[in-house]
Amino acid sequence: MKKQSNKKTYTASIKTAEKYLEAGDYTQAVVAYKTAIEKMPEKETGYVGLANTYLEQGDTSSAKIILKKGYLVTNSSKIQYMLNGIEDGSLLVNNLKETPKKETLQKSGELSFNQNFFQKLESFTYQDYEREYGGLPEIVKVKNGEVEVVHKNLSATCFYANTSEHGDVVDTKTDTPDKTGMPEKIVVDDISVLFKNFTGEITIDELQNICGSKVDIVNKKERSYVEFESGSALIRIESDENGTISSSTAWNEIILTNANKNRTAKKSVFSGIVLNAMTSEGVEAANISLEAQGDSSHSANIKTEMDGSFSIELEADTYNITISAEDYEEETFEFTIEENSNYSGEQFTISPSLASGSARIVLEWGDYPEDLDSYLIGTTDDGTEVDVSFHNDQCTKNGEVIAELDVDEMDGHGPETITLNNLNGTYRYLVDDFTESGKLQEYGATVKVYISGKSQPEVITIAPDAGVKNVWEVFELDHGKLNILNRAAVEDYE
């Protein structure tokens, strides 16, 4: 009777999931497919359907994990075929990174490593990944002491394994990584997360220019790939025989050579980068003062490196972080360090000094949506129409710049910045999700408004009840007076 009940529930769940998937309700489709798998784990249909649902959302990592789970149980040739298809790219249906490219004039920077992401890879433990990219991850046991993990908001697969040197990285009783365990290998779904200003192709010469070490070309029977180092990470990415990377979904693996070596450290790693809001480049020799609110003995001072990066070990405490540099506005942030947690890849954006009668608007966000756009529209007192965005990155009159888009960031995080040189007018500022994901509210974004004469910027985040999908109406600026709107736009601004 129990078997008949399970079969009935399984069949009903599959039909329900298929209806939700066809309607585009991925959340409910995932729930229904998981119910089907729970009732009859020996059947392949639930795994295949759930994997397709993940692929429709661009979540390749979760698709691979559920298929691997299914293959271990069912030994299904269809599941194996899907896994092979994901590996060679033929089943990547709607990857979030494959967004339309802008056809209008835009500013772009030089190719470089995504230091924020690499800092995380070099120091994050399983507990840190859970905090940063979401708990309740998908986990598949490969064999005793080895698991593969995908976190909700990280488009990558993390490989954890016990070794002779570190036999407690994976808890073999629960088949989950220990909270202090670190993955020794990571495979990303899209290699653009590793680089800033990735355009879809990287030549061996371009890669060599940004590497501090030699880039090798390895030609093997199964594939050719380039191999190079960034910090303590050894990176391999599939290429042609000449070392040109030509696909964002190329085979890759990142070997973390120092993983698990410092697991007994009591202090937390705090690392990141300080960026120039107008150029998105690192600020060299910026002074960072970390004043502990709880125990003053935890306080410290450091300076950024040539590329704007920094790293320090800190005790658990809440810190007032004051960042200053010559010809920049001094700015103070608050940051809490919890015990046994690492905070890497943190981004702090500071603004060059403002001229009198001017303002600067800085937009920052996370990994997704990949490309947010700033729009400043309004009218000066003399009747000049102002409309600045990636469509039109500068507004001038009689040779003088009224407003300008300083940087158009298309690789996530920001900063994307507009400088307004004339406060004698009324302006409105909006943020548009160029990828039209419909999830701007869910992913979140932050806008900082610097106004000359004020010591600290106004910081605005999306209100929980704003109902923003693709367009966020942030504020109005009336002759230097800020009126925060923080709401969904009535209609998309183009």
pLDDT digits (tens, 9 = 90+) for 6-48: 788 888 999 998 999 888 889 899 999 999 999 899 999 999 9
The DSSP element (H or E) to which 23 belongs, if any, is: helix 2-23
Query: Could you tell me if 319 and 292 are in contact, meaning their C-beta atoms sit under 8 angstroms apart?
Result: yes
Burial of residue 100, with CB atoms counted within 10 A of its CB: 0-12 exposed, 13-18 middle, 19 or more buried? exposed
Indicate the pairing of strand 309-314 with strand 138-143: unpaired
- Going by pLDDT thresholds of 50, 70 and 90, the confidence category of residue 107 is very low
pLDDT, mean over the chain: 89
**Other CB atoms closer than 10 Å to residue 380's CB: what's the count?**
18
Q: What is the pLDDT of residue 77?
A: 87
Q: Is the pLDDT of residue 325 over 90?
A: yes
The DSSP element (H or E) to which 69 belongs, if any, is: helix 60-74
Residues across the chain: 494
Q: What is the pLDDT of residue 2?
A: 53
Cα–Cα dist 290/415, whole Å: 23
Lowest mean pLDDT among 102-116, 319-333, 381-395: 102-116
Q: Is the pLDDT of residue 220 over 70?
A: yes
- Going by pLDDT thresholds of 50, 70 and 90, the confidence category of residue 89 is low
- Going by pLDDT thresholds of 50, 70 and 90, the confidence category of residue 418 is very high
* DSSP-derived secondary structure for 193-262: GGEES--S-B-HHHHHHH-SSPPEEEE-SS-EEEEEEETTEEEEEEE-TTS-B--TT--EEEEETTTTTT
Cα–Cα dist 386/289, whole Å: 39
Which residue(s) pair with 362 in the sheet? Answer: 417, 448
Query: Could you tell me if 361 and 148 are in contact, meaning their C-beta atoms sit under 8 angstroms apart?
Result: no
Query: Could you tell me if 85 and 79 are in contact, meaning their C-beta atoms sit under 8 angstroms apart?
Result: no
Q: What is the pLDDT of residue 425?
A: 97
Read off the pLDDT of each residue in 204-213 and give the average, rounded to a whole number: 90
Q: How far is CA 399 from CA 48, 299, 380, 402, 403, in A?
A: 61, 49, 16, 9, 12
Q: Is the pLDDT of residue 105 over 90?
A: no
- Going by pLDDT thresholds of 50, 70 and 90, the confidence category of residue 5 is confident
Lowest mean pLDDT among 31-35, 83-87, 188-192: 83-87
pLDDT > 90: percent of the chain: 61
Read off the pLDDT of each residue in 87-112 and give the average, rounded to a whole number: 57
